[in-house]
Every structure is written in C-alpha cells, then in structure tokens.
Amino acid sequence: VAFSRRKFLVTGAAGAGVAAVGGAGLAAASIAGGDGDDGGDPLGADARGTVPFHGEHQAGIATEQQDRLLFASYHVTAEDRAGLAELLQDWTAAAARLTAGEDVGPPAPVPDAPATDTGEAEGLDPARLTLTFGFGPSLFDDRFGLARHRPEALADLPSFPGDELDPDHSGGDLCVQACSNDPQVAYHAIRNLTRIGRGRVLLRWTQIGFGRTSSTTSSQLTPRNLMGFKDGTNNLRAGTDQLDRSVWVPADGDPAWMRGGTYLVARRIRIFIEVWDRSPLADQEATIGRVRHTGAPLGGHAEHDPIDLDATGDDDKPVIPVDAHVRLANQDANDIFLLRRGYSFTDGIDRRTGQLDAGLFFLAFQRDPRHQFVPLQDSLARHDALNEYIQHVGSALFAIPPGVDSGTYLGQTLLDGA
C-alpha cells in the first residue's frame, strides 16, 4: 500500500484533534490548491513538486535540472540473475513511491523492529525528486550471464591525457542519480534504496552535488559554476529535435533492450580553485571564450549571442582564442552534441596540498559515447586551455535503460531477454 508522508501528517493532525499540527508546510500546501494526495490533480501534484516516474524515458535526464544531486555507484553482490532481477523490481517499486513523495513503507507496527522507512523525509515534499538508474560495463561480465547483451556503445572509456583517476571515485556495476531541489529528499532516497539492496549491493562511492551547472530547458536561468562563469548556455534543451537525436537510442537502435534509453558519462573534475582565483580576469575569459559577467561569447554582447569563431581582432588574432573551451567544445563545429547535467561539488580539503577538493561533477547524456564524449574529450584533453586549472579525477560510464510503466521494472528489457 502506498503510504503518503503528507497524508500521514494530515491524518495525524485530525486524529489528535489539533488543527494547527503540521505547521507552515501544510498551510502552504492548502494555499497552493491541494496537497496532491487525493490523486488525479495535476496542479496539486505540481505544487508538491512531483515529477512523473513512469514514461518512455527515465526521468532525471530531459527533466528540468534540479538544484541538488546525490549520485551513488554500487557493486552488485547478488548471486545470480534472478537476484539481480529481484533487486531491480524492488528498486523500481521503491522509486515509484519515493518520487511521489511517499515512504518506502509505513513505520513498523512493532517497536522492537526497525522501521521500513528511515523517516528523515517525513513531512517533506519530493521537491522534484527524480531517480535515474544505470548499468555499468562491469555488470556485463560472466556473473549474471549478460556478456552477450553488452551494448557496443558501452565500450570502456579510453584513458585521456592528463587523467588522474581515483578508483574510489570511478566505475560501478549500477548507478542511481538522485536529483531534487531538497538535498535531504535526495539523501533519503539513496539511503533507503541502499537499505533495500542490502545483501545484494554494496555502495562503492557517492558524490554530492550542491548546485547545478547546467540548464536543460529554455525557461531555466543559466547557473554559474565554481569558476564564476555561466554554465549551460549552449546546452541541449528539453523538447528539441536536437536533444532527441543526440540523447535517446532510437526505435531501431541496437541492442533492442536499450531503445528509449541513453548513456551517461560521469567525470569527477577537480578545479584548482586557488590557481584559478589568482589568474587575471582577462586570462580567465580567454580560457573559457566568454565574458564572465554577462556570459556573452567574446566579441558578443549578450549571453545568447551566436559564437563567431571566425572573428579576428585588430591584431588579426582570433577573438576567441584557438585553445578556448567554447571553441574546442563547439557543438556545431564538431557536430557533437551532449546533454550536460552536471553539479558543483566541494568535498573538504586535499590533505596533501591544503587546497580545496572542489570542482565539477560532469554528467552528460548521449546516444553513443564512442561518437560523442570520447572524441570530444580526446580533443579537449589535448588542447583545452582549461587544462591548466582542472584535472579529471573520477570516471564512470553507464547504460541508462528506457523508462518503465506501472507494470514493468527497470532493466526488464535486458533481463527478460537474457
């Protein structure tokens, strides 16, 4: 039985006969026109910040990017394919409830057993929570008999010049990307999924992202990354043909189980903040190829002005330097498009150097990394002026299976056919 966190509050208030219990949250919900608990009221559901879980594609990809991230990578310890399928069924059911703002299960009826749900999201709205699940290359070894179903596009990423990858922030059999505007809601989701997976998965690493570094819809304002620059100006936008072509595995794509799915490349990119902060503004702008304050391309005036790669200055030099990030990453010039959906992170101090361990947790969705992330990163790793200030320190790749409806589970297209 689905168990609503808010209904629990409402019932509790009525039961106790205290009109004011529930406080500001409840009052705000009724002003917004309903708490969405009676179902079928899309406005009410929206007011609570509920992103539909079911659909052709998984949510959390073309979904308008939320402000907070908790990303988790797991090692699967389930003994066989049946165990893996059961895990994915349990996770699918739990994800449907969590994204609707429900507990994974009601509090235990007996006080001497642990409660089904850990409780820290009680009374909180989902705040646009999405949970996006993926399969890493290592899932397709011989443990689950899946080797022959491994997509060719899920080829291990090559190592790129300058990579300093830490195995403690890399790889994984499974991933869950939890995005929400409320970090406690994202935390609660990963914590409970991990708990449900006990005995079948082990957490390998997690990454908290505290601020989005992209926009994924045309109505969203462009945020700034830790370098102080607007990031996401030229990102793919939801609802465009370009996104459809660049992100989703098409209806005739291979393997069949990935149709409607996509691939995720995650890179933990350290930014050497102290070095960046000591460099002159003009050098920073030449490095990115944009003006820090406005976000305009060098030579332009406004953020969304077109980038003129051919423009030259009085000195006959290109206005946008040959090694500027936006020149080398230019999607039209390269004919390589990515849906970027990354987050800023800060994880304390690097004890060896006393410098901040902070940067960009780069997340990019695409139809085939072999033709998108890999050639682009290969070029950036060799030539990008940004390399003076950044280092890739973690890396992971996942096949993101298609979305589900209420009768199916995540990964069913893979496991049923296997």
Where do contacts with ligand HEM occur on this chain (CB under 6 A)?
225, 227, 229-235, 267, 269, 271, 288, 290, 307, 325-326, 329-331, 338, 359-360, 362, 373, 376-377, 380, 386, 390
**356: helix, coil or strand?**
strand
- Nearest approach in angstroms of CB 265 to ligand HEM is 8
CA–CA distance, 405 with 403 (Å, rounded to integer) = 7
- Nearest approach in angstroms of CB 299 to ligand HEM is 14
For ligand HEM, the closer of residues 175 and 288 by Cβ is 288
For ligand HEM, the closer of residues 133 and 362 by Cβ is 362
- Nearest approach in angstroms of CB 133 to ligand HEM is 23
- Nearest approach in angstroms of CB 208 to ligand HEM is 17
For ligand HEM, the closer of residues 92 and 234 by Cβ is 234
- Nearest approach in angstroms of CB 332 to ligand HEM is 7
For ligand HEM, the closer of residues 188 and 290 by Cβ is 290
Buried b / exposed e along 233-254 (16+ C-beta atoms within 10 A)? bbbbbbeeeebeebbbbeeebe
- Nearest approach in angstroms of CB 377 to ligand HEM is 4
For ligand HEM, the closer of residues 200 and 230 by Cβ is 230
- Strands of 53-173, DSSP E: 68-76, 102-103, 130-135
Indicate left, alpha or beta for 260 from its phi (over 0: left) and psi (-120 to 50: alpha): left
CA–CA distance, 226 with 288 (Å, rounded to integer) = 13
Where does residue 304 rank: exposed (0-12), middle (13-18), buried (19+ CB within 10 A)? exposed
Q: Which residue is nearest to ligand HEM (CB)?
A: 234
Strand 339-340 versus strand 355-366 pairing type: antiparallel
Q: Please check whether residue 294 is in contact with residue 303, taking contact to mean a CB–CB distance below 8 angstroms.
A: yes
Distances (CA, A) of 214 to 224, 238, 366, 377: 8, 12, 15, 18
For ligand HEM, the closer of residues 57 and 341 by Cβ is 341
